[in-house]
Structure 1
Amino acid sequence: MSSTDPLTAPRPDETRSLVLVQSRGAVQRCRDFSRQALLDWRWLPTADEEQQAVAEDVLLMVSELVTNACLHAPGGPRLLRLSWNGERLRVTVSDGSARPPRLRSPAEPGNPGGHGLRVVDRLARSWGVELDTRGKAVWLEVAGPARTTEPGAAVDGSGWPQPRA
């Protein structure tokens, strides 16, 4: 199939959301949901090691944000949202706690736990917290995978090569 086939072409400015009603199994459900989105958006599969690492980093950071909501927010995570605009991916995990997460000092790296936000801080291009009357949303952003094209191939606005006429 060509890259202009609507079933396989990337769809920039796409958002997917997963509503969560309990913490039990939430991390795996969110990883599976995120992996499927990355497959649909053609981040995966890839033969390029760097692009593979970026996709795996996204899945790790999703796990960290969801785990934090499971551990520290009453009722656990409520919503996972993935927003892909063709250049960057924004991951948002919402929960019912108004207490913002705290980036712990790396003073005691041998202690278990408490390192998830440090991982996010190192791997994400940016991250932050938005508070509202229902709780908070912790978000992170990563740059999309690099697109490689054949020499002379036309590229549309999404960065994907288009077939030659």
Structure 2
Amino acid sequence: MSTTRPYPPPGDRGPEADGAASAGPPRPSGQVRRLHLVGVSGAVPRSRDFTRQALYDWGWLPAATADHRAAAEDVLLVVSELVTNACLHANGPDELRVAFAGKVLRLEVVDLGSGTPTPRNPHRAGRPGGHGMFIVERLCLDWGVVRNEGGNGKTVWAELAAPA
């Protein structure tokens, strides 16, 4: 996991991907959905519903197997954690982007916050709070942060493998 390098474009990658960075600005390819969240109440459930609909449209749901169901649930959990993190620590999310290409689904949450999310280390499972980015790190192929041009805000991205 790298929290500051640009993310690679999605493609025909699976869990074995090495996560090497690509040159140039990040540009999702394939299918992309955008949800504007500026000033929206209920950003987390709205983001989950939006992502769930994309998963239906892209054939991830209804799940054919337990593994497919688990993959879809992981995506929804990561969306919840990223949007919640933006709500709690970055004055709210501006936009959610969900992109699907090849074997990779990428989630991006744009906000105007200046902080950099990091998993709490050491992770203490019995304590309340501080689990969001730990969960993201555990469930995703890779994740990171890219500062927005002009220095205001950032995009927190995470990539998950499509079900086999």
TM-score (norm 2): 0.78
Alignment partners' CA distance in 2, 1:70 and 1:49: 31
Is the contact between residue 97 and residue 109 of structure 2 (CA under 8 Å) also seen in structure 1? yes
Verify: 1:19 aligned to 2:23, yes or no: no
Aligned length: 134
- 4+ aligned runs moved over 3 Å, structure 1: none
Q: Provide structure 2 residue ranges, at least 5 long, that are not aligned to the other structure.
A: 1-28
Displacement, 1:107? 4.4
Compare 105-114 and 59-68 and name the one that shifted more. 105-114
Q: Counterpart amino acid of 2:72?
A: A
The counterpart of 1:28, out of the listed 25, 40, 45, is: 45
| C-alpha deviation, 1:98, in angstroms | 2.0
- Sequence identity (%): 54
Q: Residues 9-158 of structure 1: matches in 2 within 5 Å?
A: 13-22=30-39, 24-74=41-91, 76-132=92-148, 133-146=151-164
Structure whose alpha-carbon radius of gyration is higher: 1
1:23·1:70 contact (CA, 8 Å) conserved in 2? no
RMSD value, Cα? 1.3
> Equivalents in 2 of 1:80, 1:68: separation in Å?
13
Q: CA deviation at 1:111?
A: 1.3
What 5-or-longer segments of structure 1 have no aligned partner? 1-11, 147-165
Q: How far apart, in 2, do the equivalents of 1:19 and 1:30 lie?
A: 10
- TM-score scaled by structure 1? 0.78
Deviations 1:32-70 (A, max 9, x none): 000000000000002300011000000000000000000
